[in-house]
Each structure stands twice: as structure tokens, then as C-alpha cells.
Amino acid sequence: MIHINASRASLMSHISMTESLIADHSIFLAAPLNVKVARQAFPLAKLFNPDLDLADWSAYVRSLASRPAQTAGLQMVQDQRGYVHALFAYSISRDLLLRRILRVSDLVICLLPGMTLIGTLAETFYDIALKYGCTEIIVELGYSNPARTILQSAGFNPMSIEGLLVKQIKNGHAN
């Protein structure tokens, strides 16, 4: 697991300090990934899983896009030209302490220089968590996922459970 103990402003400040070349986050836009735009995100998903075909990808998108956004969904991050640079699935769950948790999975990200894309991703995770009243963000990554190092540089810290990243949110602020 990985925790972020910083407010949104602190997180963005940390990202800015980490990379002085960070540009305006409007370079990238996060948007729901639904059936209408599934084909647009397919090339990135195919890079992650070369065995994936368009029919399986479309079925996956359809299954998540049909759920209410407050329970699960897909998001993509695209540039101003419409090229998809990242995508992820999310679900909202409750733990035994009755906390609402945003769980991010199936994260696929293009490795680009700088921190602008990862900053947009982190901000998107935070926005979804706040929108649905989550107190924690868990990002599930495989051990060899290159996004692990990038997210750690954006303030996510590893915890004892291998392959998970977590961000605590209390009183509407990341801690």
C-alpha cells in the first residue's frame, strides 16, 4: 500500500518542486471512459496487454461503464489532441470500519518525461475520492508496474501489502 500524507495543494506543490518543468495541468484532461470512446483508448490498453482484442476490450468497458459512477467506472487521461495517455478502473467500497475507499486498478500509463501526466492522474484520483466521500485511496499495481516509481515521486508511499498504494483523506484534505 502507499499513503499520501499531503493536502491537494501540498501534493501539487510537491510535484512542482519535484519537476521544475511541470506545465499547466490543462495539457491533460481526465474524462470518463465509456462505450462511445472505448475505441479511442484501445491502443493504450493493447500496449498493456498485447493479447487483448477489441471485442474483449469493449466488453470490459461496457461492464464497468454500465455501473453507477458512485460505485465503479473507468477514466482516461487524454491530451488536447485526444490521444489517451493513461486509463484506469476504479471502484468505491467500504471496509469493516465503514470508511469509503476509492480503489484504483488496471492503471495503464504512458511513460512521459516530466510530472504533468502523473500530476493529472493524482489530481483525478483525489477528485473522485472527494466527490464520493472516500477517506482513502488505494492504487493497486503489480510489482513491476513502472507507474509505481512515478506515483511514489508524487507522494504515494509503499505500505506493507505489496502492490498497493494508499492515500489518506481526512476532513476533505489529503494527509
pLDDT per residue as tens digits for the range 7-25? 444 444 444 433 433 345 5
In this prediction the pTM is 0.75
CATH of the domain at 49: 3.40.630.30
Cα dihedral sign, 122-5-151-12: positive
pLDDT of residue 6: 35
Answer whether residue 163 shows pLDDT above 60.
Answer: no
Give tens-digit pLDDT for 109-148: 887 767 788 888 888 998 999 999 998 888 887 655 667 7
| Mean pLDDT of the chain, nearest integer | 79
Grid coordinates standing for 141? 499495481
Count of domains observed in the chain: 1
Domain coverage including residue 127: 2-174
pLDDT of residue 10: 43
